[in-house]
Amino acid sequence: MKKNIAIFALYLGLVTVLLLSTSPALAGVKEGADAYLKEDYPTALREFQPAARLGSPIAQYAIGDMYFNGYGVQKNYAEAFSWYNKAARLGLTEAQYSLGYMYDNGLGIKQDYTKAISWYEAAATQGYSAAQNELGFIYFKGTKTPKNYAEAFRWFNKAAKQGVAEAQFYLGMMFQKGHGTKKDYAKAARWYRKGAHQGHTGAQRGLGAAFAIGYGVEKDFVMAYTWLSIANAKEESTEVSEIIKGLKKAMTAEQITEAEDLSRRFLVKKKKSIWRTVGPFDTPAQPAMP
């Protein structure tokens, strides 16, 4: 779990906390959050503790996050679990997801997939996209609970519509193969496109293959070469490299130049930008790249 998850949680309920209470202890959540962001963890912990004892889930979660990551304190999964548990039971989605993660991986508590799924579902039902994506993956793989493509599709669909690139990739694959839903190549390509523009390598390969074969989109070797090259630049695959070689044999020199230029422009733009979530059907603007 990453620090930005904690930062999001800290500010998620901060305004509400301050508006609904005049308590100096609860008001200290803001001071704690400011100190946390400045990486002044001793001050953050000192400010969060009174609010946490008074039942602030934001403060409880923040303290749990500090123990989980070892920020300003010695890393202690058992202590992190204790604080996450308090916040989770008060309904904080980030804490519910974190608690699920700890049960899932046996951190600070005995591994228990049933409880992990239960807490993931608690967060996912409230709309937490990371939990929705995790549930999709769990039901798709079937290693922690019986495989259920319909459930996997349902949760991936929710996460994908919130802009989670991995969920967009899996949703595209499920539409392509007819897992948990009716096979639909056009929708497969549509979701691959969403994940591809966010930088998901699997989605880029899927979209490149769609253009190469012509399923869900009009066959276009330039776009196939473009997306497969982008994917290979991030994570080289021998299989993809062979497909690119085959495409080059069927393309003119001008087409190859165009594809290489498009892939280069995409990669340069991504290096200069923040890879952020977009709306479910907002294709990020990419010149000459449908």
What Cα–Cα distance (Å) separates residue 50 from each residue in 55, 76, 78, 91, 149? 9, 20, 20, 19, 45
3-state SS, residue 215: coil
DSSP string, 230-244: HHHHHS--HHHHHHH
Confidence (pLDDT) at 271: 64
3-state SS, residue 150: helix
Place 288 in a pLDDT band, splitting at 50, 70 and 90: very low
For CA atoms 201, 205, 211, 217, the dihedral sign is negative
Spatial CB neighbours of 162, under 8 Å, sequence gap ≥ 6: 127, 129, 132, 277, 280
Residue 272 confidence (pLDDT) above 50: yes
What mean pLDDT is predicted for residues 36-44? 92
281 vs 54, residue with greater confidence: 54
Give residue limits of the domains in the chain: 1-75, 92-162, 173-272
Structure tokens at 103: 């049960």
Confidence (pLDDT) at 12: 47
Confidence (pLDDT) at 30: 84
CA angle 67, 71, 77 (to 5 degrees): 20
Q: Where is average pLDDT lowest: 86-95, 258-267, 275-284?
A: 275-284
5 vs 135, residue with greater confidence: 135
pTM of the model: 0.85
pLDDT in tens, 191-230: 999 999 999 999 999 999 999 999 999 999 999 999 999 9
**CA atoms of 20 and 18, how far apart (whole Å):** 6
Identify the architecture of domain 92-162 in CATH. Answer: Alpha Horseshoe (1.25)
What mean pLDDT is predicted for residues 28-32? 83
Confidence (pLDDT) at 269: 83
